[in-house]
A and B are shown apart, each in its own frame.
Chain A
Amino acid sequence: MIGLNHYLFLATLLFGIGIYGVFAKRNAVAILMSIEIMLNAVNINFVAINRFIQPADTVGQLFAIFVIVVAAAEVSVGLALIISIYRQRKSVNLDDFNLMKW
Chain B
Amino acid sequence: MNLNEIAFYVISGLTIAAALGVVLSRNIVHSALALIVTFLGVAMTFFELDAGFLGLVQILVYAGAISVLIIFAIMLVMHPDPSRTNLTTPSRDTNFWGGLLAWIIIAAIGIALGKNPWPIPQTIPTDTDRVGAIANLLLGNYVVAFEAAAVLLLLAVAGAIILAKGVEEG
Chain B CB count within 10 A is highest, among A6, A30, A95, for A30
Query: Residue B66 contacts which of A36, A57, A65, A86 (CB distance < 8 angstroms)?
Result: A36
Report the number of A-B residue pairs with Cβ-Cβ less than 8 Å. 236
CA distance A95 to B31 in the complex (A): 20
Q: Which A residues lie at the B interface, using CB under 8 A?
A: 1-10, 12-27, 29-30, 32-34, 36-37, 40, 43-44, 47-48, 50-53, 55-59, 61-62, 64-66, 68-77, 79-84, 86-87, 92, 95
Hey, which chain A residues are within 8 Å of B121, CB to CB? 1-4, 51-52, 55
Tell me if B119 is interfacial: C-beta within 8 Å of chain A: yes
Known: A27-B28, A34-B23. A80 touches B163 (CB 8 A): yes
Is the beta-carbon distance between B166 and A87 smaller than 8 angstroms?
A: yes
CA distance A73 to B88 in the complex (A): 27
Hey, which chain A residues are within 8 Å of B102, CB to CB? 16-17, 19-20, 23
Query: Residue B22 contacts which of A21, A51, A61 (CB distance < 8 angstroms)?
Result: A21
Q: 20 A-B contacts, Cβ less than 8 Å apart?
A: A3-B120, A5-B116, A7-B49, A10-B16, A12-B105, A18-B19, A19-B101, A24-B95, A25-B88, A26-B88, A33-B70, A40-B42, A51-B49, A55-B124, A64-B51, A69-B149, A72-B61, A73-B152, A75-B70, A83-B164
Query: Residue B19 contacts which of A2, A37, A56 (CB distance < 8 angstroms)?
Result: A37
Is the beta-carbon distance between B98 and A23 smaller than 8 angstroms?
A: yes
Is the beta-carbon distance between A86 and B77 smaller than 8 angstroms?
A: yes
Is the beta-carbon distance between B49 and A48 smaller than 8 angstroms?
A: yes
Is the beta-carbon distance between A68 and B77 smaller than 8 angstroms?
A: no
8 Å CB interface, B116-159 against A? 116, 118-122, 124, 128, 130, 133-134, 137-138, 142, 145, 149, 152-153, 155-157, 159
Is the beta-carbon distance between B57 and A65 smaller than 8 angstroms?
A: yes
Hey, which chain B residues are within 8 Å of A15, CB to CB? 105
CA distance A24 to B7 in the complex (A): 32
Shortest CB-to-CB span from B154 to chain A, Å, is: 9
Chain A CB count within 10 A is highest, among B38, B79, B156, B159, for B156
